[in-house]
Structure 1
Amino acid sequence: MAAATIVHDTSEAVELCPPYGLYLKPITKMTISVALPQLKQPGKSISNWEVMERLKGMVHNHQFSTLRISKSTMDFIRFEGEVENKSLVKSFLACLDGKTIKLSGFSDILKVRAAEFKIDFPTRHDWDSFFRDAKDMNETLPGERPDTIHLEGLPCRWFALKESGSEKPSEEVLVKVFEKFGEIRNVDIPMRDPYREEMTGRNFHTFSFGGHLNFEAYVQYREYVGFIQAMSALRGMKLMYKGEDGKAVACNIKVSFDSTKHLSDASIKKRQLERQKLQELEQQREEQKRREKEAEERQRAEERKQKQLEEL
């Protein structure tokens, strides 16, 4: 997930869990494609930076929050632009879509196409059809039906217990935040489990470019309506944190429905058994180390005793 960005205008944010400073803010992205002419003169090239500056100039009195190149080929340059508010997207598109750019030193004009960013988010049809068609799922059982949300890219610090001094995410906070949508049956934060990495061979500590430590989590609702409401609320949204000083930052998070039975009773039991085995192995290793240390100490004591006898 990308790093958190500063939010200057929080007017479109909706409450998620104000006691923890958490809100949802609409994603306000657009994709802009600029078609490039065929370069007839050898050694002549088009400056991506110049094209970007022209785009910035086309939106008149407004400003992009961010504008970056997402793809550059011989035929086109694609940009991803973000603006401060959803209400600005239409006016930005009106300034850009179907317009043209004239670059210095080139006779051809460059055509611009702009559209609202297509958000990658599962639909009700996606999970309904998945669970309907999955042969190894029993929809009467928790975790084997659409009831669990899988979240990735959550900043640890935002979900840490206040006054705890820790920056580790808390299951208690996770529940408080997401019970807004319905009663929660279970949650799981894999990185909180010291044995999980060994159990799965995966690394759950993921750093984003901003240096924030992010985590993934699973939230399971007791009723389908809770799952539906949470998915509906999170669709097309960023997670925003507003500090006590009133300053706000937001980050993109990845939201999907769990299709792995992660919080089914069978999976939970399996993890508990694996954890138990690892704990037993750890105890055995500790015991082995202790015995080896005792044996070494006895050996050294014996050697000292032998040396003393030889010196007599």
Structure 2
Amino acid sequence: MLAAFEVQIRVLLHLYENVLSHPLRFPGATMTVTVVYDNSEATELCAAQHLYLKPIAKLMINVLLPESSEPMRPFSNWEVLDQLKSLICPDQFTTVRLSKSTKDFIRFEGEAETRSLVQILKAKLHGKIIKLNGLKTDLKVVATDAQGEWERFPREKEASSSDGAEEQDQDKSPDSIYFEGLPCKWFAPKGSSGEKPCEEILRVVFESFGKIKNVDIPMLDPYREVTTGGNFGGFGFGLQTFEAFIQYQESTDFVKAMESLRGMKLMLKGDDGKALACNIKVRRSQNFFHSPLSRWS
């Protein structure tokens, strides 16, 4: 597995340094693969598989538009983005995208290598003024930490308990987690082609949070394989992913896993210290072999 990983990361590094100035986004999927240059905030998930959890470091940037009855010259969102990049120079965003644009504000979502860098970028941006050529009125910047949907999980868990969750039928499994976007190669046995994940490896990796009762990988079921997984190709190679269900024996271990996975990327680190990271989607599932109910990403 590590030999294939070395080839993959070298190709990514070449593309990143010589072709791209942003991470690789594979068509047809929301998953992003990035070369990690600073893994100082990563925590070990499973040493045997060289897998880590790396915090997602995002910043929400609102540029407030002036309330003026006087006509203003047209300007593009990208003009504003260029000014934001100038304000944080020499630091850089790993990725930045336009999140929302209205008559009152323009919102960008930026991602950085680490959460500590996010705080530096926030200090450089918050309260600053943007001046655009030919525009009489200045634009004010408001920068805040990005809050994801994950923040709702603890309240939902408490609410379900107060509503009598303990009286659920025995066939229900509120302590199950549904994973989407797990790279097959990262969970494949050493020496294999890496096309199919190994159920035992998946179990070993996520038993770091507690004893697992059940594991299900739909891709490994020939009757369901056609509707699962995904082969996301780009630049001559693909990264196949799979989905999985994991049910913990104890609800406390389920909560521990969900809390630990909150706001994290999955990272694979090679023996030379170089690393790749990808976004994974994690959802709470009430029924082990049914569709997931709630989603966080």
Q: Which of 256, 265, 268 in structure 2 is aligned with 1:229?
A: 256
Matches within 5 A, 1:170-189: 170-189=198-217
What amino acid maps onto 1:247 in structure 2? K
Tell me the equivalent position of 2:95: 66
- Which structure has the larger Rg over C-alpha atoms? 1
CA distance in 1, matches of 2:132, 2:45: 46
Taking structure 2 as the reference length, the TM-score comes to 0.78
Contact 2:180–2:282 at 8 Å: present in 1 too? yes
Aligned to 1:278: none
Asked if residue 124 in structure 1 is aligned to residue 154 in structure 2, the reply is yes
Where 2:127 maps in the other structure, the secondary structure is: coil
- Aligned-partner residue type, residue 242 of structure 2: F
Following TM superposition, by how much is the alpha carbon of 1:213 offset from its aligned partner in structure 2, in angstroms? Answer: 2.2
The one-letter amino acid of 1:9's match is D
Q: Distance in 1 between matches of 2:51 and 2:215?
A: 18
Deviating above 6 A after TM superposition, structure 1's stretches of 4 or more consecutive aligned residues are: none
1:168 matched to 2:196? The reply is: yes
Aligned position for 1:206:
230
Which residue does 2:13 correspond to in 1?
none
| Partner residue, 1:49 | 78
Structure 2: distance between partners of 1:150 and 1:222: 15
Please report how far the alpha carbon of residue 54 of structure 1 lies from its aligned counterpart in structure 2 after TM superposition.
0.9
Residue 246 of structure 2: which of 214, 219, 223 is its match?
219
| Aligned counterparts of 1:41 and 1:237: Cα–Cα separation in 2 | 45
> How many corresponding residue pairs?
257
> SS state of the match for residue 219, structure 2?
helix
Amino acid at match of 2:75: I
Separation (CA, whole Å) in 1 of partners of 2:54 and 2:71: 47
Match of 1:149 in 2: 177
**Inter-partner Cα distance in structure 2 for 1:132 and 1:56:** 47
* DSSP 3-state at the match of 2:207: helix
User: Using the alignment, how far apart are the partners of 2:136 and 2:231 within structure 1?
Assistant: 46
Pick closer, same or farther for the CA change 1:209–1:72 going to 2, 3 Å: farther
TM-score (norm. length: structure 1):
0.74
Residue 133 of structure 2 is aligned with which of 104, 107, 112? 104
Give the structure 2 partner of residue 290 of structure 1: none
- In the alignment, does 2:221 pair up with 1:196? no
CA distance in 2, matches of 1:102, 1:116: 24
Q: Is the 8 A contact 2:247 2:288 kept in 1?
A: no
Change (3 A) 1:3 1:209: farther
CA contact (8 A) 2:45 2:53 kept: yes
Aligned-CA RMSD value: 2.6
Q: Deviations over 1:131-156 (max 9, x none)?
A: 65478x85473x62432111122122
The corresponding residue for 2:62 is 33
Mean Cα deviation higher: 222-231 or 31-40: 31-40
Q: Which residue is equivalent to 1:240?
A: 267
Greater share of helix: 1
> Take 1:66 and 1:220, find their aligned partners in 2: how far apart are those partners?
34
- Percent same amino acid among aligned pairs? 49
CA distance in 1, matches of 2:186, 2:112: 24
State the AA in 1 paired with 2:177.
I
Q: Distance in 1 between matches of 2:187 and 2:60?
A: 32
Q: How many angstroms apart in 1 are the aligned matches of 2:163 and 2:175?
A: 16
